[in-house]
Amino acid sequence: MDPVWLLVLLPVAAASGWLVATHDRTPKKQKTHIPDRFFEGLNCLLNDQPDEALRIFLDAVEMDSGTIEMHMALGNMYRQRGEVDRATRIHENLVKRTDLDNELRSQALFELAQDYFKAGLYDRAESLFQELRKIKSVRIRAGRLLLQIYDQEREWEKAIEVSIELNKHSDSDYSHTIAHLYCEVAESNIRTGNYAQAEANIALAFKHDQQCIRGVLQSGRLAAMRSNHTNAIAIWRSLEYLAPDYLGEVVAHIENSYKTLGDLASLRQFLESALEKNTDIRIINTYAELTREQQGEKASRALMLKLVREHPTLEGVLQVIASQDRAAGTSGQEKDYQLLASLISHVVETGRHYSCRNCGFQSNSLHWQCPGCKAWGAMQKPQVPELKPVHQ
């Protein structure tokens, strides 16, 4: 016998207990004994005859009104075991009944919607969850699952509507989620060239989350796309006090905008200011590259060495080796540098990733929604192996 079937006894026992406990307050039409057919079905389950058991249970549910909770519990158990077809048949039979009170009918419909959801029948699940959203007792649970469907189907507008309602009626805070969803819509607007609509959606994102980092990044991009580089720089540089951890994400954009404006002095000032708050290797590299362009290879190498001493990371060491490599030319040191560089590069690559603070999912690129747990804004910046500072 499959020992998992023993689990059936738990919900059945619970349901039987519920029936006994509610005996006195159960309306007369539902007050009944547990039918023999039910025990017959249990017997089949315990003898590893699940199809025969299911047939008996389905017969019983049509004949007897007192076993509704037990059927509900059995259906749930089938679904949890991954036997969604059986769960669906039980719940479909329940909702066909005409003698269910409103509460039990809503509960049965909610279970059936979950069966469809688990089976990937999102259209059917969606229409049931939409219906159930209007019923107070299952409104929040139906809304959460509906949000998962719209999230998966990338139907952002519908997801926004459901999230706003959940934010109003549930105990959870959905404001970050709503802001990210508006940013998703803005992203589609940008792709189709509808910049005015994108700006309107970003404004709505800020309405729900005043510190929406993604909105800041998008606003800067929009300004740069409209060739308003002064404005773009001001928007991106607001991250210096709003979220310095994200400066590495925008340093290339800021460099590009300053260079378009021909204002290299301000670019240098920005990089120095940014490095006080964030030692992301992308900022260090941009600073070293600017120094190379303005003052030559030697000055750049000296700067890189100084920065890596002050803010030691393996990535920084890798850059120093690369610059030494260039300086070594064809000397005998070149091969040693290359070997050292490839070893450190391997360590850096295996240690460089964004990770989700919610579920630990790791990725080489920044996802606004974690591909693992679907949480919004939970991916953190790269965790690069740190070294101890060098003192001379």
Residues near Zn ion (CB under 5 A) are: 356, 358-359, 361, 370, 372-373, 375
Q: In Å, how far are 110, 126, 184 from 116, measured between CA atoms?
A: 10, 9, 27
Gap between the Cα atoms of 336 and 74, Å rounded:
68
Would you say 16 or 358 has its CB closer to Zn ion? 358
User: Least distance to Zn ion from the beta carbon of 354, Å?
Assistant: 10
Residue with smaller CB distance to Zn ion, 287 or 376: 376
CB of 378 to Zn ion, least distance (A): 5
- Residue 379 has φ and ψ, to the nearest 5°, of -80, 135
Measured distance CA(247)–CA(381) in Å, rounded: 10
Helix (H/G/I), strand (E/B), else coil: 43? helix
Q: Considering beta carbons, is residue 185 or 378 the nearer one to Zn ion?
A: 378
Place of tokens 């040191």: 333
Closer residue to Zn ion (CB): 37 or 367: 367
Determine contact, residues 326/297, Cβ cutoff 8 Å: yes
Nearer to Zn ion, 183 or 370 (CB): 370
Nearest approach in angstroms of CB 250 to Zn ion is 23
CB of 181 to Zn ion, least distance (A): 17
Residue 374 Cβ, how far from Zn ion at the closest point, in Å? Answer: 7
Which CB sits closer to Zn ion, 63 or 359?
359
Return phi, psi of residue 338, to 5°.
-65, -40
Nearest residue (CB) to Zn ion, 305 versus 370: 370
Shortest distance in whole angstroms from residue 366 CB to Zn ion = 13
CA dist., res. 319 & res. 308, Å (int): 9
- List, as own/partner pairs, every contact residues 248-251 make where C-beta atoms lie below 8 angstroms and the sequence separation is at least 24, other chains included: 248/278, 248/280, 248/281, 248/282, 248/283, 248/381, 248/382, 249/217, 249/366, 250/217, 250/220, 251/280, 251/282, 251/283, 251/286
* Among candidate residues 307, 291, 306, 344, the one with its CA nearest the CA of residue 322: 344
> Least CB distance from residue 369 to Zn ion, whole Å?
9
Residue type, 32: T
Q: Round to whole Å and give the CA distance between 197 and 177.
A: 20
Instruction: Report the distance separating Cα 235 and Cα 360, nearest Å.
Output: 31
Tell me the H-state helices in the chain.
Answer: 9-21, 36-46, 50-63, 68-80, 84-96, 102-118, 122-132, 139-152, 156-169, 175-191, 195-208, 213-225, 229-237, 239-242, 247-261, 264-275, 281-295, 297-310, 314-328, 333-351
Instruction: Return the number of the residue (135 or 375) whose C-beta is nearest Zn ion.
Output: 375
Pick between residue 344 and residue 375 the one whose CB is nearest to Zn ion: 375
Closest contact distance (angstroms) between CB of 115 and Zn ion is: 26
| Alpha carbon distance 56, 254 (integer Å) | 70
Instruction: Compute the least distance from the CB of residue 147 to Zn ion, in Å.
Output: 16
